[in-house]
Amino acid sequence: EVQLVESGGGLVQPGGSLRLSCAASGFTFSSYEMNWVRQAPGKGLEWVSYISSSGSTIYYADSVKGRFTISRDNAKNSLYLQMNSLRAEDTAVYYCASPGVVLRYWGQGTLVTVSS
Amino acid sequence: AIQLTQSPSSLSASVGDRVTITCRASQGISSALAWYQQKPGKAPKLLIYDASSLESGVPSRFSGSGSGTDFTLTISSLQPEDFATYYCQQFNSYPHHTFGQGTKLEIK
């Protein structure tokens, strides 16, 4: 059974940093493209970032470009999102999702709250 | 960037009703569209991909149609567990996914 488990969310002050993790199991992680998708409280879904299976190709939404960094460790079956210069508008539940095109598998999400 | 507009934004219906939700793309996306169902506090669940292909395990009362710019999700006979929020998603500009704003389906 495919499982994606996010962790690392929490309360952070504006301008602060946070690193999210997504632990994958039940499939060959190194063969799958991965994404981060977020959802602000009471709002819709917003794609955040994509990484290819090897990690060589990366894309970001304009709203996070230059502040967020996606990465993966295929040996550890893990996906990461380093979030810097956080803003109030980054407050959301962050989901890891795969595969790359049609998002068939989702984690349960981790809540990031940016507030002073 | 491709924009997706769903209509209606909210909808009240009764068990047994036939319901249709529309998703319009700002430019042609062929059949590169998926539909998701999300219940409160849960992750989205894939229902339909490639505009009309039913995901494995999803009840056959769900169906999708359309291509180009206009798409529909139809639930043929609403069941109590179908009350949720539905999102369309385009992947024509993959990997830059875009989601519609969502349609909240409520019990009348």
In this complex, is the C-beta atom of B68 within 8 Å of any C-beta atom belonging to chain A?
no
Longest dimension (CA), chain B: 38
Distance between CA B1 and CA A110 in Å, rounded? 27
Helix, strand, coil percentages, rounded to 5, for chain A: 10, 50, 40
- Minimum-distance CB partner of A101 among B42, B94, B101: B94
Peptide linkage before A99 cis (omega within 30 of 0):
yes
Confidence of residue A11 (pLDDT cuts 50, 70, 90): very high
Using 50, 70 and 90 to split pLDDT, how confident is the model at B96? confident
Which A residues in the span 27-66 are in contact with B, Cβ-Cβ below 8 Å? 33, 35, 37, 44-47, 50, 59, 61
- pLDDT digit string, tens, across residues B6-63: 999 999 999 999 999 999 999 999 999 999 999 999 999 999 999 999 999 999 999 9
Angstrom distances, CA of residue B92 to CA of A97, B61, B97 = 18, 26, 8
Q: Is B34 exposed, middle or buried (0-12, 13-18, 19+ CB in 10 A)?
A: buried
Residues of chain B positioned with their CB less than 8 A from the CB of A98 = none
Reported confidence tier of residue B94, pLDDT bands at 50, 70, 90? confident
pLDDT at B103: 98
Half-sphere exposure of B61 (CA within 13 A, CB side): 13
User: Which residues, 6 or more positions from B23, have their beta carbon under 8 angstroms from its beta carbon?
Assistant: B4, B5, B6, B33, B35, B66, B70, B71, B72, B73, B88, B100
Q: Is the pLDDT of residue A110 over 90?
A: yes
Q: β-strand A45-51 against B19-25: which pairing, if any?
A: unpaired
Which residue carries 């569209």 as its tokens?
B33
pLDDT in tens, A28-73: 999 999 999 999 999 999 999 999 999 999 999 999 999 999 999 9
Which of B3, B4, B97 is the best substitution to test chain A (most A C-beta atoms within 10 A)? B97
Nearest to A102 among B34, B43, B96 (CB): B34
Q: Which residues contact A88 (CB under 8 A, 6 or more apart)?
A: A14, A114, A115
Task: Please give, rounded to a whole number of angstroms, the shortest distance from the CA of B18 to a CA of chain A.
Answer: 24
**Chain A residues near residue B88 by CB distance under 8 angstroms:** none
